[in-house]
Structure formats: C-alpha cells, structure tokens
Amino acid sequence: MSADPPAPGGSFYEAVGGRPTFEKLVQRFYAGVAEDPPLRELYPEEDLGPAAERLTGFLEQYWGGPTTYSEQRGHPRLRMRHMPFKVNPAQRDRWLTHMRAAVDSLELPPLYEAELWAYLERAALAMVNTFEE
C-alpha cells in the first residue's frame, strides 16, 4: 500500500487497496468474532459468511468503492438494522477489540489507519442501544 494520499478525485477505498483490503479487514474481524461466544451470539446465522459479505460491501461503499451494498440492500440504516440485537457497551467493546486487531493486520499508513479507526469507533458507539447486560 502506498503512503501517498490518493490522487485528486481518488477515494480512500482506492488509496488503501480496494476490495482486497476490506476483505482482509472483515475476514480478520470475523475470525475474532467466531472465537468470542458473547459477541458471536449477536450473529444469528450459523455461517458468518453472509455477515462478512454485508460488512465488506458496506465498508466498500462507505469508503468510496462500489455501491453494491445499497443496490442489493437499500439504504444502510445501521441503527435500525442493529436494533433487534442487544448491543450494550460490553458488546461494543468486544466488537472494537476484534476490529482493532483487524485494522492492525492491514498495516496501513498511519493517516489512513487513524481515519479508518476513528470511523469504526464512532460507528460502534452509535450501535449501542441498551445499557442492560
């Protein structure tokens, strides 16, 4: 990956390596989720593959890549989509632990890493919908 900023008109998505980078991020993240029973309970599907594909598509679109996510699923509506699941601060922190490991595995240039991580922290905070255990 290049430490240079994207060319004028380029996107973050392109600058960090496109789909392969986001696939690696999501694969590493879900490897952690699979080994974390309390967090894994938030994923009702037996196979994490569909969740991984949805997250990859969402992140690609958010960062300037293909709009496949919205074409297939409509507007992201993240809070609404997560409302059926009890997301408390402990679950948020578990999610961030696995996402931190995934972000670190990318070895992005510091500016890109910081931008990606700042977004992920904000998104995780926004998903909290209860303070009950």
22-67 pLDDT per residue, tens: 999 999 999 999 999 999 988 888 899 999 999 999 999 999 999 9
Residues 51-85: b if buried by 16+ CB within 10 A, e if exposed: bbebbbbbbbbbbbbeeebeeeeeeeeeeeeeeee
* Three-class secondary structure of residue 91 per DSSP: helix
Structure tokens belonging to residue 87: 């997301």
- For the chain, the domain total comes to 1
Is 37 domain-assigned?
yes
Is the pLDDT higher at 6 or at 125? Answer: 125
Asked whether the predicted pLDDT for residue 119 surpasses 80, the reply is yes
Distance of CA 15 to the CA centre of its chain: 17
Is the pLDDT higher at 86 or at 19? Answer: 19
**Which pLDDT score, from 0 to 100, does residue 1 have?**
44
C-alpha angle with apex 11: 8 to 12, nearest 5 degrees?
A: 125
DSSP codes, 108-131: --HHHHHHHHHHHHHHHHHH----
Is 108 domain-assigned?
yes
Is 82 domain-assigned?
yes
For all residues of the chain together, what is the average pLDDT? Answer: 88
**Which pLDDT score, from 0 to 100, does residue 55 have?**
95
Is 3 domain-assigned?
no
Is 115 domain-assigned?
yes
Is 132 domain-assigned?
no
Is 1 domain-assigned?
no
Q: Which residue has the tokens 């999610």?
A: 95
CA distance 34 to 13: 26
Q: Domain holding 108: CATH number?
A: 1.10.490.10
> Where in the sequence is the domain holding 18, given as residue range(s)?
12-127
Is 36 domain-assigned?
yes
